[in-house]
Amino acid sequence: MQFMLLFSRQGKLRLQKWYVPLSDKEKKKITRELVQTVLARKPKMCSFLEWRDLKIVYKRYASLYFCCAIEDQDNELITLEIIHRYVELLDKYFGSVCELDIIFNFEKAYFILDEFLLGGEVQETSKKNVLKAIEQADLLQESGESRSPISIL
């Protein structure tokens, strides 16, 4: 995966994870164009589109668009599963997640994503393990100590 963007129906960015090195200016341009393109799609259209030399996989969950850019040899259908798994993780963590949760706790959304994907690839296929890791990290934060002997998993 090259990048993942989360944005609202009004085009406001809620999360941006870039797995390729680009300048801030380039990222802004890509975001702007892509958001426009995806928002212009009608509701019944399929979840895939070709954009520049990338394949874009997107899915709308309530008021949020989840949009991933994958490469030519990547499997579009499994990318849909990746998006769905991420939404499930958010849902489990926040308890019936909605857009506001992601706005007010954006850093948590990033932490969860970073336990599921790494460098653009899936790192953990067990929902349980991802959530456990986040839980442990949150505990570590709470305890205020970094020398906790609790090992994760």
Partner 1 sequence: MVVPSSKLQDLIEEIRGAKTQAQEREVIQKECAHIRASFRDGDPLHRHRQLAKLLYVHMLGYPAHFGQMECLKLIASPRFTDKRVGYLGAMLLLDERQDAHLLITNSIKNDLSQGIQAVQGLALCTLSTVGSAEMCRDLATEVEKLLLQPGPYVRKKAVLTAVHIIRKVPELSNIFLPPCAQLLHERHHGVLLGTITLITELCERSPAALKHFRKVVPQLVQILWTLVTTGYSTEHSISGVSDPFLQVQILRLLRILGRNHEESSETMNDLLAQVATNTDTSRNAGNAVLFETVLTIMDIRSVAGLRVLAVNILGRFLLNSDKNIRYVALTSLLRVVQSDHSAVQRHRPTVVECLREPDASLSRRALELSLALVNSSNVRAMTQELQSFLESCPPDLRADCASGILLAAERFAPTKRWHIDTILRVLTMAGTHVRDDAVANLTQLIGGAQELHAYSVRRLYSALAEDISQQPLVQVAAWCIGEYGDLLLEGSCEETEPLQVEEEEVLALLEKVLQSHMSLPATRGYALTALMKLSTRLRGDNNRIRQVVSVYGSCLDVELQQRAVEYNALFQKYDYMRAAILEKMPLVERGGTQDEEAKESKEAQHSEAAVIPTEPQTSKLLDLLDLLDGTSGAAQPPPPLEPSSEGTSVHLLDLPCVSPAPASIPNLKVFEREGLQLTLSFVRPPGTPALLLIMVTAINTSEADVTHFVCQAAVPKSFQLQLQAPSGDTVPAQGGLPMTQLLRILNPKKAPLRLKLRLTYNHFGQSVQEIFEVNNLPVETWQ
Residue with tokens 């798994």: 85
**Tokens (6 digits) for 6:** 């989360």
Note the residues at the interface with partner 1 (CB under 8 A): 12-19, 21-24, 28, 44-50, 73, 75-78, 80-82, 84-85, 103-104, 106-107, 110-111, 114-115, 118-119, 121-129, 133, 136-138, 140-142, 144-148, 151-153
62/128 with CB nearer partner 1: 128
Shortest Cβ 39–partner 1 spacing (Å): 16
| Residues 75 and 60: beta-carbon distance below 8 Å | no
Shortest Cβ 47–partner 1 spacing (Å): 5
Beta-carbon contacts of 17 under 8 Å, excluding residues fewer than 6 positions away, are 3, 4, 5, 110, 113, 117
